[in-house]
């Protein structure tokens, strides 16, 4: 199977990197076995970024491999060491790439070298137990998990960015014309639809340098999808001006230069959005027999439509200088009227779920076990993703957070009773709890506040032994050490 050299439309599945997990760690050193929590935070995951690269002219790199994933963030470590940041995955795209989501909504139109779009942001890293410590929770025995990165399907559609677009019937000589005007070397042959992809050429006329796009040949019905239809027409949307390349030597029955102009104009009008583009007309193939006579016959009718007309020959280069300077004048005027736009970095973020309350919503549902309730909201769903459900203390911490947010009070006010199922999160991947109102986990865990380590309490046996030894040290013998005093007190 032939490998395409030009691809202007692809689908991609992009995934941001997962944030690294936080770590629960306790500082230890000689004579200080319990130095407090020192678990570091996880690093954020890398993002998937689209960046306009002027050296890239096709989406071929994404044609066969339609999935891209950024690097995960590093896990935290003891000693207050935070995890490394996951590297961003930068995907170079051509200038003029339009990005849409799975529903067809346009996310961004990437125009201008260096313009960036973050299509899948990396997940946040989880907090270590050092960051979770407070005056009431001196030694948390848990840490938060890193969040998964954003995941989405996108479509990339290239609309060639050129200053001038050459349009016309197949075999009108557009490829020959762009080859004569620039150093581009498109495929040229004596049969229709030789050009299957747009060709770009750089033309210099005086002090103005501009690009010309050789758009593949249009036919009647192209705006309705006939031939390659919209695959061709979308490449003229960004052009500052259109040049009709008219074939003076066509031998097809029913065709003449004026009829060709009418057909192409009708297709451009049906496609829409091109009415304000200036038009030039290039009567091509003056070098063929009867070419000059045909140009003399139609030139006045074309001028009557208000268009500038140029007689040219791509083979002999006759009239090309005048045509190139006419295109340069249009391009210079367009550039002078267009403000310079600096490259920008655009971050696409999903719209947060908002309902009757500022933080979350609660709706009643029916589940297999009977009554049920669904809780949706940015904070509750994020807290669910951060919780290690294999750690009872972490689960209790989640319960306290939800309680402080007002979830339990809202459920009670809406009629929830003990034993009802409470689902938090996306319907496809929700976490289910059995509702148990009236329990403040922060005051019930381990007969003390969650996260408090009873080994730090002053009334524990080890602390009492240290106080007894300190009181006996002034009365010790001259040769007694602290260990001897501890041994003597232990025997008594």
Above pLDDT 70, what percent of the chain? 81
Say if CB 153 and CB 102 are below 8 A apart: yes
Which residues are annotated as part of the binding site for GTP? Answer: 168-175, 193-197, 214-217, 284-287, 313-315
How would residue 263 be classed by pLDDT, with cut points 50, 70 and 90? confident
Measured in whole angstroms, the distance separating CA 406 from the mean position of its chain's CA atoms is 34
Residue 371 β-bridge partners: 366
> What is the CATH architecture of 361-454?
2-Layer Sandwich (3.30)
Cα(145)–Cα(394) distance, integer angstroms = 10
Residue 161, pLDDT > 80, answer: no
Residue 442 predicted with pLDDT over 50: no
169-180: pLDDT as tens digits: 877 788 888 888
Residue 261 main-chain phi, psi, to 5 deg: -60, -45
Give the pair of three-digit tokens for residue 132: 């979770």
Mean pLDDT, the chain, rounded, equals 80
- pLDDT band for position 458 (50/70/90)? very low
**Residue 347, pLDDT above cutoff 50:** yes
Quote the tokens at residue 456. 């730090």
- Mean pLDDT of the 40-55 span: 92
The 10s digit of each residue's pLDDT in 6-18 is 577 899 999 999 9
Q: Which residues are annotated as a binding site?
A: 168-175, 193-197, 214-217, 284-287, 313-315
pLDDT computed for residue 294 by the predictor: 87
Confidence check: pLDDT of 192 > 80: no
Looking at domain 164-337, its CATH class is alpha beta
Question: What is the separation of C-alpha 166 from the centre of its chain, rounded to a whole number of angstroms?
Answer: 33
Q: Is 282 helix (H, G, I), strand (E, B) or coil?
A: strand
Reported confidence tier of residue 472, pLDDT bands at 50, 70, 90: confident
pLDDT per residue over 76-123, tens digit each?
999 899 999 999 999 999 888 889 998 888 888 888 888 889 999 999
Binding-site positions for Mg(2+): 175, 195
pLDDT higher at 485 or 273: 485
Report the candidate in 179, 185, 187 with the shortest Cα–Cα distance to residue 203.
179
pLDDT in tens, 215-229: 765 655 444 444 444
Q: By the 8 A CB rule, do 26 and 38 touch?
A: yes
Mean pLDDT of the 52-57 span: 83
- Asked whether the beta carbons of 156 and 9 are under 8 A apart, the reply is yes
Per-residue confidence (pLDDT) for residue 143, from 0 to 100: 93
Q: Could you state, in order of their start, the residue ranges of all structural domains in the chain?
A: 1-158, 164-337, 361-454, 458-491
State the angle between helix axes of 392-405 and 378-386 in degrees (0 to 180), rounded to the nearest 10: 170
Higher pLDDT, 194 or 475: 475
| 312 pLDDT higher than 70 | yes
Instruction: Confirm if 138 and 33 have CB atoms less than 8 A apart.
Output: no
Instruction: Please tell me the class of the 1-158 domain.
Output: mainly beta
* Among candidate residues 108, 162, 153, 223, the one with its CA nearest the CA of residue 10: 153
């Amino acid at each position: 199977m032939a490998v395409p050299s030009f691809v202007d439309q692809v689908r991609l599945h992009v995934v941001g990197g997962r944030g690294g997990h936080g770590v629960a760690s306790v500082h230890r050193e000689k004579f200080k076995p319990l130095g407090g929590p020192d678990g570091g935070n996880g690093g954020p995951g890398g993002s998937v970024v689209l960046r306009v690269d002027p050296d890239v002219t096709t989406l071929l790199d994404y044609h066969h491999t339609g999935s891209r994933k950024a690097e995960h963030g590093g896990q935290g470590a003891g000693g207050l060491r935070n995890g490394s940041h996951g590297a961003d995955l930068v995907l170079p795209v051509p200038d003029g790439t339009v990005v849409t989501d799975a529903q067809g909504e346009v996310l961004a139109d990437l125009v201008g070298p260096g313009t960036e779009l973050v299509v899948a942001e990396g997940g946040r890293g989880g907090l270590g137990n050092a960051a979770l410590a407070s005056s009431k929770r001196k030694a948390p025995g848990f840490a938060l998990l890193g969040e998964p990165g954003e995941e989405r399907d996108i479509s990339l559609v290239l609309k060639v960015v050129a200053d001038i677009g050459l349009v016309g019937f197949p075999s009108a000589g557009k490829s020959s014309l762009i080859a004569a005007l620039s150093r581009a070397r498109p495929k040229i042959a004596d049969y229709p639809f030789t050009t299957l992809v747009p060709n770009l050429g750089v033309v210099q006329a005086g002090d103005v340098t501009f690009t010309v796009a050789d758009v593949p040949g249009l036919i009647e019905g192209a705006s309705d999808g006939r031939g390659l239809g919209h695959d061709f027409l979308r490449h003229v949307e960004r052009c500052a001006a259109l040049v009709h390349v008219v074939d003076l030597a066509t031998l097809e029955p029913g065709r003449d230069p004026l009829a060709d102009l009418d057909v192409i104009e009708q297709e451009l009008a049906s496609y829409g959005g091109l009415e304000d583009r200036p038009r030039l007309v290039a009567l091509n193939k003056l070098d063929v027999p009867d070419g000059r006579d045909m140009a003399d016959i139609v030139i006045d009718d074309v001028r009557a439509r208000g268009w500038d007309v140029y007689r040219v020959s791509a083979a002999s280069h006759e009239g090309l200088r005048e045509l190139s300077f006419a295109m340069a004048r249009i391009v210079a005027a367009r550039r002078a009227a267009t403000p310079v736009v600096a490259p920008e970095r655009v971050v696409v973020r999903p719209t947060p779920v908002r309902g009757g309350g500022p933080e979350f919503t609660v709706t009643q549902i029916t589940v297999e076990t009977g009554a049920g309730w669904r809780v949706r909201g940015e904070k509750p769903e994020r807290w669910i993703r951060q919780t290690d459900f294999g750690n009872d203390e972490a689960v209790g911490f989640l319960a306290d957070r939800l309680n402080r947010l007002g979830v339990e009070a809202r459920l009670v006010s809406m009629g929830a009773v003990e034993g009802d199922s409470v689902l938090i999160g996306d319907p496809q991947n929700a976490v289910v709890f059995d509702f148990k109102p009236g329990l403040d986990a922060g005051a019930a865990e381990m007969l003390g506040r969650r996260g408090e380590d009873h080994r730090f309490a002053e009334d524990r046996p080890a602390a009492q032994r240290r106080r007894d030894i300190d009181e006996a040290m002034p009365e010790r013998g001259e040769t007694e050490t602290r260990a001897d005093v501890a041994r003597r007190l232990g025997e008594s």
